[in-house]
Structures are given as structure tokens and as C-alpha cells.
Amino acid sequence: MKTYIAKEKDIRKDWYIVDAKDKVLGRLATRVASVLRGKNKVIFSPHQDTGDEVIVINAAKIRVTGKKLTQKEYKRYSAYPGGLNTESLESMLKKRPDYVIRHAIAGMLPDNKLGEKMLKKLRVYAGDKHPHAAQNPKEMVIK
């Protein structure tokens, strides 16, 4: 028996849309990351980009469990002494809700050029409007 390796012509990219309203952040991120990688397809190979395009809407209405809203922090360092900047999840959701979802999904993708290519297929919008109606995205159900 031979191992099947997908050819470029065999890879078909579909478009999916996810409504993040009242969805738990981690559960949403794992499902979206697996679709971006292509793990839901029969032709999945870890060294190829076989994943689909994903649109996430209503990012500002995401839900988290426990005390994460106040205790989870996003950190940046400016490379200067005392240059550590921290921001809570609550304030980050008010300023940049798209970053919260993108950051969670990026942590679940490979840390290489292939992972960067997969992350470019993700589009996150804070509201319920998006400019991708022409692609006829299918609804992705996340429980």
C-alpha cells in the first residue's frame, strides 16, 4: 500500500463562516485551527497546506469561562529595560477583539512558514458584517 500525497490540482479550498457570538474562545479556536490546517479532509498531509478559508464574525461577543476575563493577560516587550506591557483580556476585547481570536488560533498552528500561510486564510471581524459574500461561505457549526 502506498502513501497518498495530494497534488496541488487535487486541493480544493472551500470558504467557511463562523459566528463567534456566545461561543467559548478555546473551543472555537481549536475547531477553526483544524479547518485552517485541513485536518477535516481525507487528503490531509502535515507538510502541505490543504486547509480552507475561514471567516469569523462577531469576535467582540466571544465568551470565556472562569476568571479569564480579568486574570488572562497579553504581554508585549519593547526590548527596553522596564518595557514589559501587559493588558487583560477584558480590555483587549474592547480595543481589538479580532486580535484575541487570531492570537488564540495562531497558537494552535505550526510555528513555521506553513503556519503563517495557514493564518493568512483567516479573516476575523468584530461585527457581523464582512466583505466576502461573493465567495458563498458555508456555515460552520461549533457547539
pLDDT at 21: 96
Does residue 50 fall inside a structural domain? Answer: yes
- Which pLDDT score, from 0 to 100, does residue 105 have? 98
What pLDDT is recorded for position 4?
A: 83
Assigned domain for 46 exists: yes
Dump pLDDT digits (tens) for 115-139: 999 999 999 999 999 999 999 999 9
For residue 19, what is the enclosing H or E element?
Answer: strand 15-19
* Residues in the chain with pLDDT values less than 50: none
CATH code assigned at 60: 3.90.1180.10
Residue 3 forms part of a structural domain: no
Could you give the number of structural domains in the chain?
1
Collect all residues with Cβ–Cβ distance below 8 Å to 52 and sequence separation of at least 6. 13, 14, 15, 16, 35, 36, 38, 121
Say if 94 falls within a structural domain.
yes
Q: Which range of residues forms the domain containing residue 123?
A: 13-139
Residue 1 lies in a domain: no
8 within domain boundaries:
no
44-55 pLDDT per residue, tens: 999 999 999 999
What's the confidence (pLDDT) of residue 17?
Answer: 98
105 within 8 A of 33, measured Cβ to Cβ = yes
Residue 7 lies in a domain: no
